[in-house]
Structure formats: structure tokens, C-alpha cells
Amino acid sequence: MNEINKSACEPTERLLVLYACDELEEAERSSVEQHVQQCAGCAATLARELRMREVLASAGRPADRLDPSGLLLAQCRSKLAEKLDDDAAPAARRRWFGWLRPSEWFVLRPAWTATLLVLIGVSLGTVAPRWFTPEPGPINGAGVIVSAPRLTDQDMQTLGVSGINWVGDSNAGTQRIELHVTAEKPLILQGTTDDTDVRRVLTFIVQNGQRFDSGIRLDSVDVLRMRSGDAAVRQALCNAVQSDRNPGVRLKALEALRGFEQDELVRDTLLAALVEDSNPGVRIEAINALRTLTEKSPDFDDQRVIDVLRDRMQKDPNTYIRMQSAAAVRQLGPRQSY
Amino acid sequence: MPLTRLAFVVPGQGTHLGCEGGAAAARSIVKTADEQALIRAAQTGDRAAFEELVHRYDRDVLRLALNLLHRTEDARDVYQEAFLKVYKNIHRFRFECSFYTWVYRIVTNVCLDHLRRRISRPEDQAPEPSPDETAPTNFFERVAEDRLIGDPERSFMGKEIGWRIHGALQTLTPRERMVFEMKHYQGLKLRAIGELLGTTEETVKNSLFRATRKLRTRLEGLL
């Protein structure tokens, strides 16, 4: 083996690696073999290269140690199948129902989408008010009774009311009340608070609060406040203040009784509300009404009222009520002893 | 030279060999046609066809992942990630290369990502098990291995060599490790490795050369 020029070995070192892994063309192989025969250094390098490959090949492969039985492969296959099943379910849903998702076509056709949205907006703006504005005409084929006392006592026992509306023009003085009644058969009762049947039904609603929902009761009190001068109406309103389970209705009934504090029934109702009502708003309305009474009638002399006010100025949990009670007692004059 | 080789064929046997070669070629053609049909079916959403394709390649994919990453958890992750990518992108396969190449491109990319992640965030990784720790824990497997090893001195030497090789392989970059694995253990041609890694043959040669030098240095005492 003859030594050859060292400079010829540098490129050969690279070729030796490729030679060892059988990546050289026939001509290059021959050239390397020729060089190795003459160069001891490159021959040793090639021997080391081949030896290294043997050593690497003799060592076991991690795959043989880590999954000798193929169990891991089986687990991987099973897990992949599960994952594909999971992915397939939403994909199927998307395929069938994807077009229902607005985002599917909003993104693709922005101009059309904008136009469509504008049209929907205009249509809703035009049509929707009609849906929510009650029409004066008959509804669902129900008969219309205009201010005629045709509801019998039997009808009143089975009375139901599904809605109370104002119809007509309030400015023109033609405003009327419309009661959607469900007695033996549905009917619509139209009229003013002067009409007996209308007033009778409204009073009945307020007095029998447990049979009607709070919205109907509130509307009824609202209408009846225009007829608070009527003793029967006041009786109904006082009844509502004392027994209605909704504080909003009780409060509204108290408001409807304003101006009638001189009425003994109303006064008793105010005192009862002031002492017994659990709602501070209702009690405040009651004390305000009583304050109005004491202001309007400084010579007012009802011992029961004074006793209640004294009691409340000391015991009511609400500061405002205690202060107003004290002010009312003071107003009633020095003739009252503390 | 084909003519020279034909001169060595014994009459009779030549016909037989020719038949065998023809049968193998025919089988290959049938297999290719069969695979194309499976791919087309899988592209239309046929799960059974897709699973058949997976079963053709997944053993090698898992082995590659285990050999590169040395951890069953990582290999399992690579398997899942790679085949889910294949599943989601199979409609994009245009038959411009072999399905094997296409699948392996995905697999090698996923493996490289894992190796790079391991290097960039070593704190997130569990330590790689030593060759000892990866020994079979199953009783029957252990007994079988003990019988094979028999000689304790040889067994110790084997473990020592295993350790050294393991350590030497750790010094390679992900790409060098991939190239070395494919060339040395899977016997792929450098051109094919280049195709799989989406690079040139020359780049692969450079990687192989650098890997070999590093390994030679690290394994000096064993050679």
C-alpha cells in the first residue's frame, strides 16, 4: 500500500461515507477502491466507518424493545379509530346542517348578506308594529258587546279576562276600554268606565285578585282610578290594598285612593297598610297619604290615626316613615300630648 | 448489463424466474391499482378504505417514531398526529408522487417537530428512558430475552454499547438524526430521503456526513 498525497484524501473522506452506505456510482466506487488500496489512512477510515455501521447494526433498535409484542401498534390503531369516529360525527352534522349556519353564507356573500339584512330590517320595521298594536275590531271571531249590562252573575263566577286595552283616540275624547273576556264564550267588552258592565268586571277583577294575573289587576286598578269617586270602586280598591299579594297592585290601588283620605274606609285602609304592609314602598305611600290628610285638615282629630302615627314614629323600621309619622304628629298640634 | 446476466440463467429456471419476476411485477401493478382505488375511496370519505391504507404503513411509521423518539408516549402522539393529518388532507393528494412518499413526508415532519420541541423545551419533556429502562417489563418477554443473552459479560457489553450509541445519537440534530435513521436503519436511498424531507440530495448527503462524523467521534472507543 503506497502513501499518496494527503490533499487527495480530503474529498475522499466524504466519499468513504457514501461508499460505506452504498450511495456511489460505479465509477466513483472504483475510484474510492483504487484510492483506498494506495492510502493506509483512508483504508483505516473506511474500516472504522464499516465497523461503526456493524456496531450500530448490532445494537438493538428502540422499536424492538419498546413494542416487542405489537401491543402499542394495536393501541394506536384503536385510538386513531376512536378519534376518527369523534371527528366524523360533527363532520356529518356540518354536511347536512352546515348550510343552516349563517356564517357559512355570510362570509361567502357579504354584499348579498348586507342586502338581505337591510330588507329584513325594513320588513320588520314595517310589519312588526302591526303585530304589537291591538286592532279595535273583533278578534278570533269573538262577539263584541258595547256597553250593555249583559253579564249575568253566573258569567261573573266563571269570568276570565285575557287582556285590557285602550282603543280609540284619547285627544279626540273617543278613547274606550276593551276587555277581552272569556266567560262561557269569548267576548270583547268595549266601553268607558261609565258603562256598568265594564266597571263591574274591573271591580270584580280587583276584588278577586287571586283569579287574575297581576298584569290584568294592575290594568284594572289603573282604569278604575278614574272612577275612585264611586263608593263601590273605592271599596274594591281598599280591598286590593289590604289583600292583593302583589305590592305593585297594592301601591297602585293606594295611589288611586288619593284625595279620598277623608273617607273612613280609605283612612282605615291607609292605617292598616301603614302598620301591616310588609312592603316599605306601600307603607311610604300610606304615610304620604296620611300626611296629606293632616296638612289638609289641621283640626283633624281622630285618636286612632294619632295613635298609629305615634306608634310608627317609634317602631317603623323605615327612617322616612318614622320621620313622616313624627312630622304628622307634630302638625296635629300641641294639643296632642306625647 | 442485462444481456450478461441473462447468459447466466439456466434454461428452464429462467422461465421460472421470469415467471416469478413477472408475477411480482404483476402483483406490484395490482397492488398499485388497488392502492389507487383505496385512495380514491378514502378521498370520498370511505373510512374502511382509509383504515386499510393506514394498516399498510402504520407499522413502519410507528417503528420510525419509536426509533427516533425513544418513548412510547411520543411515538403514540406522532402516530395519531400524522395519520389524522393524512386523513384530513387526503383529498389534496393528487397522485403526483407515491402515496408512501406523501405519507412519509407528513410523518417525518411530525417527527421533526417533536424532536425540535424536545430540544427547545427540554423542561416540558420527561427524561428519555435509558436502554435499561426500556427493557421489557413483561415476564415472558424478559425470560425470552434473558435466554437469548445468556452470557452475562456479553450482556453487559451489549448494554454498554447500547448506552454509548444512545448517547451518541443524542448529539445529532433532529434532521441529522432523521437522515441517519432513514439511511442506516431503513436503508432508503439519499434521493428518496431528500424527497421525503422536501430537500435536495446534496443537503441530505451533508447531513449524513455530519452525522457520521459526530457518531464516529462519540463511538471512538468502540471502533
Q: How many CB atoms lie within 10 A of CB B113?
A: 13
CA-nearest of A282, A284, A285, A330 to A310 is: A330
pLDDT given for residue B11 in this prediction: 34
Domain B57-222 sits in CATH at 1.10.10.10
DSSP A161-185: EEEEEEES-TTTT--EEEEEEESSS
**Which of these ranges, A45-49, A200-204, B157-161, has the smallest mean pLDDT?**
B157-161
DSSP run (H or E) holding A146: strand A143-146
pLDDT given for residue A184 in this prediction: 66
Query: Which residues of chain A does B55 touch, with a Cβ-Cβ cutoff of 8 Å?
Result: 77
Using the Cβ of A50 and the Cβ atoms of chain B, whether some distance falls under 8 Å is answered with no
Low-confidence residues of chain B: pLDDT under 50: 1-20, 133-149
Cβ contacts of residue B48 below 8 Å, gap of 6+?
B41
Q: State how far the alpha carbon of A100 is from the alpha carbons of A93, A105, A119, A247, B207, in Å.
A: 11, 9, 19, 46, 53
Per-residue pLDDT of A224-241, as tens digits, reads 888 888 888 888 889 888
Rounded Cα distance between B58 and B33, Å, is 20
pLDDT given for residue B190 in this prediction: 93
Residue B143 grid coordinates = 425470560
The dihedral over CA atoms of B21, B22, B23, B28, expressed in degrees to the nearest 10, equals 90
Is B216–A48 a contact, with Cβ atoms under 8 angstroms apart?
yes
Most confident of A13-22, A192-201, B59-68: B59-68
Query: Which residues of chain A does B158 touch, with a Cβ-Cβ cutoff of 8 Å?
Result: 59-60
State pTM to two decimals: 0.48
Per-residue pLDDT of A272-328, as tens digits, reads 888 888 888 888 888 888 888 777 776 677 788 888 888 888 888 888 888 888 887
Mutation choice for A interface testing from B74, B107, B164, B184 by most A CBs within 10 A: B184
Question: Coil, helix or strand for A241?
Answer: helix
pLDDT given for residue B5 in this prediction: 32
Quote the mean pLDDT of chain A: 79
Instruction: Give the pLDDT band (50/70/90) at residue A144.
Output: low
| Cα angle, residue B140 at apex, residues B135 and B143 outer, rounded to 5° | 70
Domains of chain A: 6-58 (no CATH), 192-331 (1.25.10.10)
Per-residue pLDDT of B78-120, as tens digits, reads 999 999 999 999 999 999 889 999 999 999 999 999 988 887 7
- The residue that leads in pLDDT, A264 or A134, is A264
Label residue B43 exposed, middle or buried (CB < 10 Å: 0-12, 13-18, 19+).
Answer: middle
The answer to whether A190 and A147 have CB atoms below 8 angstroms apart is yes
Name the residue among A55, A81, A83 with its Cβ closest to that of B223. Answer: A55
The answer to whether B196 and B101 have CB atoms below 8 angstroms apart is yes
State chain A's maximal CA–CA distance in angstroms: 144
Instruction: Give the pLDDT band (50/70/90) at residue A140.
Output: very low
What is the rounded average pLDDT of the residues A161-185? Answer: 75
pLDDT given for residue A56 in this prediction: 81
What is the rounded average pLDDT of the residues A245-249? Answer: 86
pLDDT given for residue B6 in this prediction: 31
Residue A251 grid coordinates = 301601591
pLDDT given for residue B125 in this prediction: 54
pLDDT given for residue A259 in this prediction: 85
Instruction: Give the pLDDT band (50/70/90) at residue A96.
Output: low
Instruction: Give the pLDDT band (50/70/90) at residue A204.
Output: confident
pLDDT given for residue B206 in this prediction: 92
Name the residue among A49, A56, A76 with its Cβ closest to that of B76. Answer: A76
* DSSP state for residue A187 in the 8-state scheme: E
What is the rounded average pLDDT of the residues A23-35? Answer: 89
Query: How far away is chain B from the Cα of A27, in angstroms, using its nearest Cα?
Result: 15
Rounded Cα distance between A146 and A143, Å, is 10
Name the residue among B66, B189, B215 with its Cβ closest to that of A67. Answer: B66
The answer to whether A164 and A220 have CB atoms below 8 angstroms apart is yes
Is A52–B158 a contact, with Cβ atoms under 8 angstroms apart?
no
Is A23–B161 a contact, with Cβ atoms under 8 angstroms apart?
no
- SS3 of chain B: the string is CHHHHHHCCCCCHHHHHHHHHHHHHHHHHHHHHHHHHHHHHHHCCCHHHHHHHHHHHHHHHHHHHHHHHCCHHHHHHHHHHHHHHHHHHHHHCCCCCCHHHHHHHHHHHHHHHHHHHHHHCHHHCCCCCCCCCCCCCCHHHHHHHHHHHCCHHHHHHHHHHHHHHHHHHHCCCHHHHHHHHHHHHCCCCHHHHHHHHCCCHHHHHHHHHHHHHHHHHHCHHHC
Name the residue among A56, A65, A80 with its Cβ closest to that of B135. Answer: A65
What ipTM score was computed for the predicted complex, to two decimals? 0.73
* DSSP state for residue A151 in the 8-state scheme: -
Q: State how far the alpha carbon of B214 is from the alpha carbons of B9, B208, B219, in Å.
A: 45, 10, 9
Contact residues, chain B to chain A, C-beta under 8 Å: 47, 50-51, 54-55, 58-59, 62-63, 66-67, 70-72, 75-76, 79-80, 83-84, 87, 131, 134-136, 138, 141, 158, 161-162, 165, 183-185, 189-190, 205, 208-209, 212, 215-216, 219, 222-223
